[in-house]
């Protein structure tokens, strides 16, 4: 069975500073990976995804993520954080052998200081 | 493309009552998923449909839970005899399934937040 770990429960970052959110997954075959963002009381918005090919993927709102198979990681980055980036971020892994259902990590809450 | 919609957005009920939630997927999306998210946690898979067929149910989905997608369009999730532990956000997602061996992207609705008193 697949699993996802997001080691950081909370991260506080100053506006304009860079941000990196960690995600480690466990899955026996080739995974496909997602990052979603959730504002309070809202649903999940897709930031970016990795299916295959180039291991550095670009997403919306200036986010990017890098798939590293050797480290079973899919970390999310943004060079300069805006106050509107304060939210909860979820990494998820999908598995073709598991009916395409997604397995999510526990999330990382990002707070942005002015 | 109006996105996935869910109704109601909030529901407060008393323990023992039945509740029903509705999800309208993105049009022409043949797959529909239900997830549950408790406070401070990531979403957990409950069940999914391909067209009108329910293909998988999680063991989280007790006998009190039932889901339908009668015409392969909208779906309903019913919880009978609600318990306080059912309090959570119920999220619906839809996707275009292109068959085995093809990954897909799930798009989520705004969720229905349930509070059982």
Share of chain A above pLDDT 70, in %: 97
Contact call for residues A7 and A22 (beta carbons, < 8 A): yes
Distance CA B117, CA B103 (A): 40
**Pairwise CB contact (< 8 Å): B42 & A106:** yes
Distance CA B113, CA B12 (A): 8
CA A82 to chain B, closest CA, distance in angstroms equals 23
Q: How much is the average pLDDT of A5-13?
A: 97
Q: How much is the average pLDDT of A26-42?
A: 89
Least confident of B4-8, B69-73, B91-95: B69-73
Per-residue burial over B35-55, b if 16 or more Cβ lie within 10 Å, else e, is bbbeeeebbbbbbbbbeeeee
Q: Chain B residue with minimal CA distance to A99?
A: B56
* Residue-wise pLDDT tens digits, A72-111: 999 999 999 999 999 999 999 997 766 678 999 999 999 9
Distance CA A53, CA A30 (A): 12
Share of chain B above pLDDT 90, in %: 80
Mean pLDDT (chain B, rounded): 93
Q: Chain A residue with minimal CA distance to B34?
A: A101
């Amino acid at each position: 069975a697949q699993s996802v770990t997001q080691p950081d429960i909370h991260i506080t970052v100053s506006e304009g500073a860079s941000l990196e959110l960690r995600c480690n997954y466990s899955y026996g075959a080739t995974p496909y990976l997602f990052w979603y963002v959730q504002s309070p009381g809202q649903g999940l918005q897709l930031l970016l995804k990795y299916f295959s090919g180039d291991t550095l993927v670009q997403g919306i709102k200036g986010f990017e993520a890098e798939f590293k198979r050797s480290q079973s990681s899919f970390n999310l980055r943004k060079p300069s954080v805006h106050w509107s980036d304060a939210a909860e971020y979820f990494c998820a892994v999908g598995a073709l052998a598991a009916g395409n259902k997604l397995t999510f990590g526990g999330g990382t809450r990002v707070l942005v200081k002015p | 493309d109006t996105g996935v919609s869910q109704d109601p957005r909030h529901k407060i009920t008393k323990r023992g009552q039945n509740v029903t939630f509705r999800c309208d997927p993105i049009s022409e999306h043949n797959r529909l998923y239900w997830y549950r998210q408790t406070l401070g946690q990531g979403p957990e898979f409950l069940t999914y449909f391909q067209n009108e067929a329910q293909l998988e149910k999680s063991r989280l989905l007790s006998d009190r839970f039932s889901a339908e997608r009668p015409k392969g369009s909208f779906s309903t999730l019913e919880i009978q005899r609600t318990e306080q532990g059912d309090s959570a956000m119920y999220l619906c997602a839809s996707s275009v399934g292109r068959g085995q061996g093809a990954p897909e992207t799930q798009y989520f609705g705004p969720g229905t937040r349930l509070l059982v008193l």
